[in-house]
Chains A and B, each alone.
Chain A
Amino acid sequence: MKSYAFFIGCNVNARVRQYESSTRAVCDKIGVELKDSSEFACCGYPLRNMDRQAFLTAAALNMAVAEKMGVDMLVICKCGFGTLKAAQHILDQDEDARREVNKTLAASGYRYGGGVAVKHLLSVLYHDVGLDALKKHVTGQLKGMKVAAHYGCHALRPSSVTQFDDPVAPSIFERLVEITGAKSVTWDPKTDCCGAPLLGIDDDLSMALARKKLERAANAGVDYLCTACPYCQMQFDSVQHMMLAKSNGLSPLPSVLFPQLLGLSMGLGEKDLHFELNKIEVGDIASFISSEQQNG
């Protein structure tokens, strides 16, 4: 059984609890062990706008915690993933920054050595577990469901640092969606920004970016948007909910988290998937399940 240090991030437990429960349930099902640590802290993402050393220290602490646990990190937030990768990239090149960071970490008994691999949930599913192994657990194909997979900027770019997928024509998320039996549609802005990083700073701009994506996804005729990041999910769910309250000609398009979708196809139930926690109602999502087995 492959083990990872489970880096949940700050938002999930407070606002997107269904992401944690569905991830845990899916990982349990496919035999991926998630190890917890109460020593994990802020990844440094919100500190990046303010102070480079604070951002690097926060990121380094978390990687040092995982290093001590002796396993690679499984991150479920794209912003957290991108931040940790960026910090790793800097710390592995910049001796001074690394020395400074380790001076601070020493007080809490940690040291960043750089030996830990930082992976996003989707990469673990795609590369470490593999599509064939995942397919074995799919018991009910989500026949006829059309899904728009949203990649998330901070995992894709800068590609030289994140090494997540092809930054221009990525495909791993769509291929993961398709093992559930759902159809992953082609839609232009799949690699565009959801607008979440600007929420609270310039709400109008943040919502304009979200709106552009929501409209394009709706035009592509999808039943659901699919995300693998709490920020993207909150943007397409809670923030869309705020946008709808203003009733400005937008029609609701529910967004689901990938482990919710995968879990559904693997026969997991409400107690793990918690669709009721999604702000925009997902409707009768279970009605897509068909018992036909996938061919190949």
Chain B
Amino acid sequence: MLFNVLLYVSLGIFILGAAWRISAWFRRRIGVEAGSVTGAQRVAAALKGIIGTIFSGRILDVLKVFVLDVLIQRRILRQDVLRWVMHMSIFVGFMLLLLMHALDNFITVKLFSEYNATNNPFFFLRDLAGVLVIVGLVIAVYRRFFLKIPRLSTSGADLFAIAIIAVIILSGIFLLGAKVISHGEFMRMVEDYSDSQEPEEVAALEAYWVKEYGLASPTADLPFDEETLAQGEEINEMSCVWCHAKSEWAFASYGVSRVMKPAAAALEGVGAVYALWFVHILACFVGLAYLPFSKMFHVISTPVGLMVNAAEEGRAADPVNVLTRRAIELDACTSCHTCSLMCSQAPAFAVFDNPYILPSRRMAALRKMGVGGEIDPQERKALRQGAYICSNCDRCTVVCPAGINLRELWISVREELVRQGDPEPAMLSQFSFVRGLNRAALGSNGDYAAPLAMARKAVSCAGEEALTEERVLDLNDVPDPRGNPRFEREAFLNCFGCRNCTTVCPVVGSFENPQEKLGLLPHQIMCSLGLGLTDLACSAQMLWECSTCYQCQEHCPQGVSVSDLLYDLKNLAVQNRNE
């Protein structure tokens, strides 16, 4: 009764939760193209895509990915053998227990007519599967807490996943251990299955079971003479062996029972068998009910994501389905942090205090936003900067065990973030190169140019006033050189104003009226620094138009590091903005 109530309640929660999570695949809007596509349109496009895939050769690609990437988990194996052993142990062990043990009435009995849980090979295999899961969990804990894997962070969701599986498996093993030694269980079995009910016969069987099956008996003067044991064996042969392999075969549980045996009477007293059974099924049902809301939802979302990508591979997918795939992929991410381990911007993460430089941390933030969660302005700013500080090296995409198309996701999400109305100074760096390459795909010219204009304005705000022609510059009260010794006035004493730097500059040479476009020309910037006018120098548009070709520095007859100083000024401008 209790079992059924718990089963149906947890199953109900699981079904509703999974439906809610799956519906989010059609509701979530991620990326700059999300626009005004409705959920219904997305469902229709998805169905069309699925049907199109099933009735074409692409179904073979999908099946291939299902076998290689979902069942054999080739993508994990490529990254790290230890992790593959961990994941396969948990996956194989748990799936065997789920299908052959938890669902034995539906599956195992149909497959094996002689099935009985306490007969071999099932009796042995159940423990083996449990131990396999435990091995996987031990590796998981070892990786997370003892191996110093760079940038691997452990969240509450990760701990819950490890804990719930551990409780399910360990309670199962302890439950069987308690049954092995339980006299109560023994007596119940004797009543139900034995033809020999005489006290003498029962005592003989009990003695035999104490000796051969590891039973703990409360009877102090149980006879262990050869005759009694022979009688016990005879009864055992008649009534028990048909359904009962030796306890040792359940090696893990039997091992545990040896430890529990000295406390057998106490355990019997508190009803340990029932208590452990309750813990075991409760953990299973909690895990089932909470699955759609936990990290374990990846058992559904990751295979789906992998297979959708396989169907899409190498062809122009319906843009509506791309939106849906992205939503699935947010759920497919297990926060395994492989991407962050391989991220080319790991050094930037080490210097800037911004977790969102790491791809896996960005995924977590997007997932939070995608399900309607709000994100505060400071966090949004960090997310935008994190998404921009990306070399577009594609390593995250190549290594992702869930096969998520991160390459495309970052381009789209980055664009969405920089168009939200706040300036991003990182746009004025070579991180923008790939955005420039993709500009044709990023919509109209105005939408493309506006965030750049905003970033320029933001980093030069200090200087706008300083740049007017009427402005009288006070050269007597010059502020300190912003803590940068390279901006000390003395450093410019040997600049004799020959303007070579400006003459050789290809950028200056590209404009009819360079001053109008660039604000200050290279020699004027050097002159400003020489006068101690750091802020003025810092606000010149020239800084952001510099092609860093080093012609100026190479051709300075006085050895002024013109290009390097422009870098220093850019750093100062970005720093001012970030503060």
Quick check: is B74 within 8 A (CB to CB) of the other chain?
A: no
Which residues of A (57-82) have their CB < 8 Å from a CB of B?
57-58, 61, 79
Q: Are A209 and B547 in contact (CB under 8 A)?
A: yes
Q: How far is the CA of A198 from the CA of B505 in the complex (A)?
A: 14
Quick check: is A1 within 8 A (CB to CB) of the other chain?
A: no
Task: Report the stretch among A42-50, A126-134, A265-273, A284-292 that lies at the interface.
Answer: A42-50
Size range of the interface on B? 35 or more
Q: What count of chain A residues pass the 8 Å CB interface test? A: 55
Q: Are B348 and A49 in contact (CB under 8 A)?
A: no
Give the Cβ gap from A191 to chain B, nearest Cβ, in Å: 8
Give the Cβ gap from B552 to chain A, nearest Cβ, in Å: 9
Quick check: is B551 within 8 A (CB to CB) of the other chain?
A: yes
Q: Are A46 and B547 in contact (CB under 8 A)?
A: no
Which residues of A (143-178) have their CB < 8 Å from a CB of B?
153-154, 156-159, 167
| Interchain CB contact (< 8 A) of A206 among B351, B391, B436, B554 | B436
Quick check: is B574 within 8 A (CB to CB) of the other chain?
A: yes
| Interchain CB contact (< 8 A) of B433 among A41, A58, A231 | A231
Quick check: is A13 within 8 A (CB to CB) of the other chain?
A: yes
* CB neighbours of B342 from chain A (8 A): 38
* CB neighbours of B345 from chain A (8 A): 41-42
| Smallest Cβ-Cβ distance to A206: which chain B residue | B436
Quick check: is B322 within 8 A (CB to CB) of the other chain?
A: no
Which residues of B (421-449) have their CB < 8 Å from a CB of A?
425-437, 439-440
The secondary structure that dominates the A interface is: helix
| Smallest Cβ-Cβ distance to B572: which chain A residue | A52
Known A10-B392, A196-B433, A200-B432: A157·B510 in contact at CB below 8 Å: no
Chain B CB count within 10 A is highest, among A41, A54, A61, A193, for A41
Q: How far is the CA of A47 from the CA of B567 in the complex (A)?
A: 10
Quick check: is B197 within 8 A (CB to CB) of the other chain?
A: no
Known A50-B574, A108-B150: A209·B510 in contact at CB below 8 Å: yes
Give the Cβ gap from B447 to chain A, nearest Cβ, in Å: 14
Q: How far is the CA of A49 from the CA of B432 in the complex (A)?
A: 11
Q: Are B394 and A54 in contact (CB under 8 A)?
A: no
Q: Are B426 and A50 in contact (CB under 8 A)?
A: yes
Q: How far is the CA of A113 from the CA of B450 in the complex (A)?
A: 44
Quick check: is B186 within 8 A (CB to CB) of the other chain?
A: no
* CB neighbours of A158 from chain B (8 A): 550, 553-554, 561, 563
* CB neighbours of A86 from chain B (8 A): 564
Quick check: is B460 within 8 A (CB to CB) of the other chain?
A: no
Quick check: is A95 within 8 A (CB to CB) of the other chain?
A: no
* CB neighbours of B344 from chain A (8 A): 10, 41-42
* CB neighbours of B286 from chain A (8 A): none
Q: Are A14 and B393 in contact (CB under 8 A)?
A: yes
Q: Are A157 and B554 in contact (CB under 8 A)?
A: yes
Q: How far is the CA of A14 from the CA of B437 in the complex (A)?
A: 13
Q: Mark B52-83, 1 if CB is under 8 A from A, else 0.
A: 00000000000000000000000000000000
Which 9 residue pairs spanning A and B have beta carbons closest together? Answer: A200-B432, A200-B436, A157-B550, A10-B393, A10-B391, A58-B347, A193-B549, A46-B430, A49-B429
Contact surface of A with B, Cβ cutoff 8 Å: 10-11, 13-15, 38, 41-42, 44-54, 57-58, 61, 79, 86, 104, 107-108, 153-154, 156-159, 167, 192-193, 195-203, 205-206, 208-209, 231, 234, 238-239, 242, 245
8 A-B pairs besides A11-B391, A200-B435 with CB distance below 8 A are: A38-B342, A46-B429, A51-B571, A58-B348, A153-B551, A167-B554, A198-B547, A200-B431
